[in-house]
Structure 1
């Protein structure tokens, strides 16, 4: 078993004085004077701020193009969709207060809320909804989510507050897909390329928070929308702070300079049990709706033989990865669905650790160590490859180290490259310029996986960046979208799971536990199936605990 020395991997670093001074000046400007408010009357304050820290900056703040986690999260606070999911992951209305579905499932009519305004004061109407979905469906937009709406054949604006979508065929996940954020027609209608619009960095939405400012690689600041239709958020300001190093994030958390972060496993188990932490900070744990994987570029000849991909999967000890990297905070997964759901095939090939089987598969594929140098060869070519992953995610970096070591036992020489997030996406993922990649996907509430796994999604800008293609799986994915019977639909996805496991386009590694933490002055946090951030507008700080004054 490979042992990672935690004192090296999770090395404590001193925060440079210059960084501390810069942060103090930054927060002073953004959040106003920090005060002790013991003299305030008890009650719910609407004056405080929440500073959340993440490892990467956003790329674009237009929801129909936001395909990274930071952009999507920030857009979720600025914009609304027609629908959303509640704490139990059930579909409820957002900008739509109700809807009607025709008996044949070929049309959905949404009745929109009245008196909703964009953050600039312009009334929200059905025209904005029509404009948004026309932009998504426009091929020149190259929207990464277009596959979720490709069965829409017409959009009818009945009046300012009623809109109807007509479908080519029934589409089971339709209501969930209408959670896409709506963008303002009046600001984008004259833009030839809305991705290059000034509003990509200065967004205007209808959501609970208004955009305030964005300093690249440092922070994004939002302010409460005083006209929000549900109610004005109790937290006056929200700041997303970019801190690429989780060790520095943790020091900032302890110093009180940030209010919330996602703990890595070492921090959750070993660093968060001190009196200093427990007195001021609350931590949470629940199985995340996500999975981590190794993806193999199907355009690389090295991975064209699925026996090679299968061997790479058999060579890995997932249990050791979970024990060593996650410190037990994860569950093995074997496919793109959440374990324990009706779509997850428990009998799919799990690729339990088996070096003998891995070696046999590689020999069948023509790989031998012909010169006894410890490296496999085929047709004079050594089995060498590069694993790329993003900087700032310690779990992925440590996983790459273990994968490198375990593959070496088979005679495979792997080099690990850790790349800064922006360059990682721009130079490697977007251009499909990689061999093997360690990344993760969020698992959506609906099992429709068209956008990531269908062959048509492997086009430039698509989410199928490993270029996986299987005609039978494509047909099943399409069938799963049309099937309206829940039990039959679940069976289709279990079959997809089984077939994808056989193909091994990914080595599915694990579903981790989410381990967020929040400063204890924040109240109203109710953990649920949706996590802890679904009800952010209901978080509040008692008057006598307010930190920032406006």
Structure 2
């Protein structure tokens, strides 16, 4: 499809003779990914769709209880401290952004009256600003009106380094002006091609100024609203037991007509993925369960019971291993894995390269994950034009052995390689979960054949993904040599996803380990390419710059990608849900109903 043909189809969409979805299907047929097709429509001022799910109920309420299982239990309800997906999912029940991302990568307005375009005056032609018109008549759960003051406050709150927010990177380099009570203007320091980051999706949830205004900066962790939220969402807070249970009730003043359908909501945390799958697919005790990280063979047996089915949604998520190039066993200025240290053996590029050859990705996909993922060597896998064509993977124990031999790592009497008195012995940690422990076992077995000793460590998921700065076993502290988890691409553009690779996002004591760069590795060329991409308006040049960031970390073998992950949840047959691979599970919870 050439440029003139694309323009012709866009014209038909504007005229109403071709639907948005039909345009996206035609684009996909010639290799243009859905999110990019959606962006083409945005750039050409085609209005966003108003719904992503064919919502049937004609009135709010009457649906009885909705029961959801999050086997990684939430521990807090402030979205700007939520470094783990489980806490982001829980926070989204109560708080909302100006807009979110639907299944096709379209921007979907929540607290915004409309999605900004050039046509409606929302997007400046020079890429220097975006103006958001806010929905009127929206109230917080305590009855106070939602206004532009709340949006401006959320910006100041998240941008304040003393707040140590997980979302700081999205707000630090912008300015937000209040135009009137229902209009705000986001001003960028330079031309910004991807403007839909602040106030959008999982990083964009708006906080009420009247509840958090006295708890900013260093006092931010003291706010009652961190555990007892007052938001604008479809459900109001009733009860929260961190690490266990959330109870909520229907918001009778919700700003979306005829929503929500359910009268009460219960989110039960804890347990494991297998028991969560069983409670939905076999017994029907719960309506929906998140993140079915269960072996494919087990899930198929459960589905055979006929009570429920898997909900598989494509996404940009990735299951990957990080190799620690800092020293996790030496404390410097009150923290381990400090950038002031070097790992005694993993700082050797040859060792990292050898470890990459010892991962049997194809076996992990085939025998463990099934529908849950596709083997990959790239950290970024979607949309298609942002995926590196250069990165490849290979499982070869002989090559790993030769690399280590050539680098001077020799096997001792115990069969473990060593050099200069340092042995290749590693602690490999991840969350407690059967597929992950089986993946660890596969890798450990291959490593043994190359003279590398692996100690497997499994941390309870609610602890591993906790945002608790006092806990030594969180993934963000990374007090181990290797660790493995799934990281979520929160939007159909990898810019924010890749800030896990920049030096100014390194997790440390000063930012309460909420910095996005958990690896602590940095490279001046990656920083340079990332900064250039942030201001590059040419989409082809920008994609090349972001691909370069990905390649630097993968070719350094600091990131060892395993699988391009699908979002796999489980629901009872009667439940109708609106799921997106570009946003969190509860992104449009108000639209769920029973068919």
Q: What TM-score bracket applies, with the shorter chain setting the length?
A: 0.7 to 0.9
Q: Label 1:166 to 1:534 Cα distance change in 2 as closer, same or farther (>3 A).
A: closer
Equivalence for 1:248: 275
Residue 439 of structure 2: aligned partner: 399
Measured at CA, do residues 199 and 304 of structure 1 come closer, stay the same or move farther in structure 2, by a change above 3 Å?
Answer: same
Q: Distance in 2 between matches of 1:251 and 1:82?
A: 36
For residues 23-422 of structure 1, the aligned pairs below 5 Å read 46-98=62-114, 99=116, 100-152=122-174, 154-179=175-200, 180-192=204-216, 193-231=219-257, 232-253=259-280, 254-261=282-289, 262-263=291-292, 264-266=294-296, 269-274=299-304, 277-278=305-306, 280-299=307-326, 300-327=343-370, 329-339=372-382, 341-348=384-391, 350-371=392-413, 373-391=414-432, 393-422=433-462
**Deviation by residue 1:248-305 (Cα, 9 ceiling, x = unmatched):** 324433333211124323465432243xx21x21323343431111111121222112
RMSD, aligned CA: 2.4
Distance 1:87 1:75 in 2: 20
Matches of 1:95 and 1:159 in 2, distance apart? 15
Q: Distance in 1 between matches of 2:578 and 2:163?
A: 39
Aligned counterparts of 1:473 and 1:215: Cα–Cα separation in 2: 42
Change (3 A) 1:112 1:535: closer
Gaps of 5+ in 2: 1-57, 117-121, 327-342
Question: How much has 1:157 moved relative to structure 2?
Answer: 1.2
1:432 aligns with 2:481: no
> How far apart, in 2, do the equivalents of 1:273 and 1:112 lie?
43
Change (3 A) 1:419 1:360: same
In 2, distance between residues paired with 1:129 and 1:43? 30
Q: Contact 1:243–1:249 at 8 Å: present in 2 too?
A: no
- CA shift in 2, pair 1:106/1:86, >3 Å: same
TM-score w.r.t. the length of structure 2 is 0.78
Runs of 4+ in 1 over 4 A off after TM superposition: 42-45, 526-535
Cα deviation for residue 516 of structure 1 reads 1.8
Q: State whether structure 2 residue 514 is matched by structure 1 residue 453.
A: no
In structure 2, the CA distance between the partners of 1:119 and 1:485, relative to structure 1 (3 Å rule), is same
| Pair 530,131 (structure 1): closer, same or farther in 2 beyond 3 Å | closer
- Residues 37-62 of structure 1, C-alpha deviation per residue, up to 9 Å, x if partnerless? xxxxx999623222111222213211
Measure how far apart 1:190 and its partner are: 1.4
Q: Distance in 2 between matches of 1:364 and 1:171?
A: 46
Task: Determine helix, strand or coil for the equivalent of 2:153.
Answer: helix
TM-score, normalising length from structure 1? Answer: 0.84
Q: Distance in 2 between matches of 1:127 and 1:415?
A: 52
Contact kept? 1:59, 1:68, Cα under 8 Å: no
Question: Residues of 1 paired with 2:423 and 2:100: CA distance?
Answer: 51
Q: Name the CA distance, whole Å, in 2 between partners of 1:507 and 1:456.
A: 22
Does structure 2 conserve the Cα–Cα contact (< 8 Å) formed by 1:145 and 1:451? no
> In the aligned structure 1, how far is the partner of 2:70 from the partner of 2:578?
21
Q: How do residues 512-523 of structure 1 correspond to structure 2 at under 5 angstroms?
A: 512-522=565-575
Q: 1:315 to 1:288 in 2, by over 3 A?
A: same
Q: In the TM superposition, what is the alpha-carbon distance from 1:485 to its structure 2 partner? A: 2.1
CA contact (8 A) 2:150 2:206 kept: yes
Q: 1:468 corresponds to which residue?
A: 521
Q: Deviations over 1:360-410 (max 9, x none)?
A: 222233211144x3211111222111001112x222121111111111110
**Offset at residue 526 of structure 1 (A):** 5.8
Q: CA, structure 1 residues 155+229, in 2 after alignment: closer, same or farther (shift >3 Å)? A: same
Going from structure 1 to structure 2, the CA distance change for 1:491 and 1:451 (only over 3 Å counts) comes to closer
Q: Aligned in 2, Cα 1:44/1:214: closer, same or farther, shift over 3 Å?
A: closer
Deviations 1:90-109 (A, max 9, x none): 12332122442223222222
Q: Which has the higher contact order (CA 8 A, sep 6+)?
A: 1
Structure-2 change in CA distance of 1:514 and 1:259 (3 Å): same
Equivalent pair of 1:112/1:161 in contact (CA under 8 Å): yes
Is the Cα contact below 8 Å between 1:430 and 1:465 reproduced in 2?
yes
